[in-house]
Structure 1
Amino acid sequence: MFFGSLDEQAWTPVRGWRADEAGVGREMAAVLTVTSSLTRFLERHHGMRLTVRLHDQFIDHARADESALLGCGARDTVLRRRVSLLHRDAIMFDAESVLPLADLPAELMAQLQEGVRPLGNLLLDRGLSLSRSDLSVARLQTGDVFDGRWARRSVLRSPSGTRALVVEVFHPELWRRIASRARRY
């Protein structure tokens, strides 16, 4: 993974997660638990239009934990995409997506390779409805630069069969900007 091994983290399904017990405020909890497109949510609710910085995109094999979440075969061929999402040149969060190639339409593959737009927006703009399942959150304990940061993991599914495991790790700047905007209103 982009962030090291995240399968060892204590992921908590949002159904059983209590933001107040985790010391998380209302605005932060809304970001961590939104089930629609996160980039569109941030734009609509916080006026944050995000841009994508593509770090890497390559063909790989699904790891066992990824296969289990995606419902695909162990070691199936996948497209692995690593991006950062920025607002006004500052990174708000990093994301890694894992998409089984067997279900990936050629047109979507071409759009992903351009590396310009967020995955959720690409799927929605293609007229596909999205459902997000297995949404879980974690406060990372990695012993590196990501230590203590909040992350979320989920599986996106479209009616056409496209699936994507998405892990997002949030930078402190996102929470600062959200708090700053909330104080203005």
Structure 2
Amino acid sequence: MRIIAEQGDITRAGTDAIVNAANSLLLGGGGVDGAIHHAAGPKLLEACRRLRNTTHRDGLEVGDAVATPGFDLPARWVIHTVGPNRNRGQTDPTLLASCFTRSLDVAAELGARSIAFPAVSAGAFGWPADDVSRIAVDAVTGWHGPPIEETRFVLFDQRVLTAFEAALAR
């Protein structure tokens, strides 16, 4: 698997799937979640509401992942994952690692050959970029599922990109 870290807008990633740093309600929010919902158009919210009315009545658990179509995005699929919120005392790194491995599992089930991740739980959820990058890179490099050719970490700012580049270099 080829792994890349780049600065950019995940809604424009040229991958089969992009990962949404969602909230447990799956109904949109701020940051990456809001940007993905905006770029995908209103059908994404409808699809998320269907999930809430059927398979995820109580929302999505922290560390889990589920997919919807990408609708107006270049990506065919959006894989929604809920990262742990450090500001609420969710400090278990295995929950954060699970966001990445479960997203890869879902991507593989869909037949995706490429996937783009944001820095799940960095930013508003309070995890330091150095921790997120280390945990994310370890989770992706340690994942042993069906072949996914390319994983990209598409990061919004230079500080987070620098953390991911350092994690990939070690």
TM-score, normalised to structure 1's length?
0.30
Bigger-Rg structure (1/2): 1
Which structure would you say has the larger RCO, counting Cα contacts within 8 Å and 6 or more residues apart?
Answer: 2
More helix by share: 2
The structure whose residues are more often strand, as a share, is: 1
TM-score, length basis structure 2: 0.31
